[in-house]
Amino acid sequence: MTIDRLRGLGSHLLLAGTALLCAFPIYWLFATSLRRPSDVMSLSPIPWPLSVDNYTDAARKVDVAQLIANTFAVALLSASAQLLIALLASYAFAMYTFPLQRVLYLGFVGIWLVPFQVTMLPNYVLLNRLGLIDTLVGVALPTLCSALAVLLMRQHMAAFPKELVAAAKIDGRSSWSILWTVVVPNLRPALAALAILLFINSWNEYFWPAVVMRRSNGVLQLGLRSFMGTEGDDWGPMMALAGLACLPVLVLYLLLQRHIVNAFVRSGLK
């Protein structure tokens, strides 16, 4: 009994210690951003008195509102297109059998074996030819087909009760109308979870913006990078901008924690 309790205590210590270490940098980011500019170097664990000077300072140096709007637009466009395209593709994979099915499916799985650093040059050349360099569309376009979304959606579709679909078919409905009136309404929770996951990924996307936005810093991630370069050690405003770059995702996480965790676990295991 005592040994068991000791083991339990040790487990708590290990988990709590790791949890604290993991959360500390995030806490420190927001704590620093909320200190008065003269207190930035302070080590006191609680930022007091609070101040938003760092945020107003950051807003003076970069067009924060524009960066947030751009990032939001790209993430929204990219996530909704990924969801729609994946919905259609997974519908085909889960509800039909057709020649080349296995090959095409492996084509999606195979994406994981191609690091983006390998394909970036030809894609850069293509985007350049299309005149999409330094545009937000150019940032979103290469990401519109998400293999992850296709594979996850297929899992959900495969588990969808086939009787419902068959019944609708007997009623004489087309496959297109079955998709939107039978399948989608029933998969709403799964679609919502996937949408959030895709939005978070797009929001945090760094690579394509870095390739495409060669001359401007149109999205938050790049704005923050150039801020790190030019403003050197101006830690207060930098933490304010970094805080803004994480805030939407962290708020989503706070509100929908269980769903987000489940979505990520599913994505890792299936």
> Considering only residues 175-234, where is the footprint of other proteins by CB under 8 A?
175, 200-201, 203-204, 206-207, 210-211, 214, 220-222, 224-225, 228, 233
Residue 181 is given by DSSP the state I
- The stretch near other proteins (CB under 8 A) out of 9-17, 51-59, 61-69, 185-193 is 9-17
Among 55, 142, 187, 213, binds other proteins (CB under 8 A): 142
Q: For residue 17, what are the contacts with CB-CB under 8 A and spacing of at least 6? A: none
- What is the residue type of 55? Y
How deeply is 86 buried, as exposed, middle or buried, from its count of CB atoms within 10 A (0-12, 13-18, 19+)?
buried
- The stretch near other proteins (CB under 8 A) out of 50-58, 62-70, 143-151, 184-192 is 143-151
Shortest distance (Å) from residue 188 CB to other proteins: 18
Cα–Cα dist 180/268, whole Å: 28
**By the rule CB under 8 A, 60 interacts with other proteins:** no
Among 132, 133, 144, 192, binds other proteins (CB under 8 A): 144
Residue 34 is given by DSSP the state T
- Residue pair 109/93 in contact (Cβ under 8 Å)? The answer is no
Cα–Cα dist 231/235, whole Å: 9
- Residue pair 87/153 in contact (Cβ under 8 Å)? The answer is yes
The binding track of 18-47 with respect to other proteins, each residue x by CB under 8 A or -, is xxx-xx-xx-xx--x--------x-x----
- The stretch near other proteins (CB under 8 A) out of 49-57, 58-66, 132-140, 157-165 is 157-165
Among 37, 48, 56, 162, binds other proteins (CB under 8 A): 162
Cα–Cα dist 172/58, whole Å: 60
**By the rule CB under 8 A, 61 interacts with other proteins:** no
Interaction with other proteins in 62-81: which residues (CB under 8 A)? none
Among 76, 111, 192, 195, binds other proteins (CB under 8 A): 111
How deeply is 111 buried, as exposed, middle or buried, from its count of CB atoms within 10 A (0-12, 13-18, 19+)?
middle
**By the rule CB under 8 A, 97 interacts with other proteins:** yes
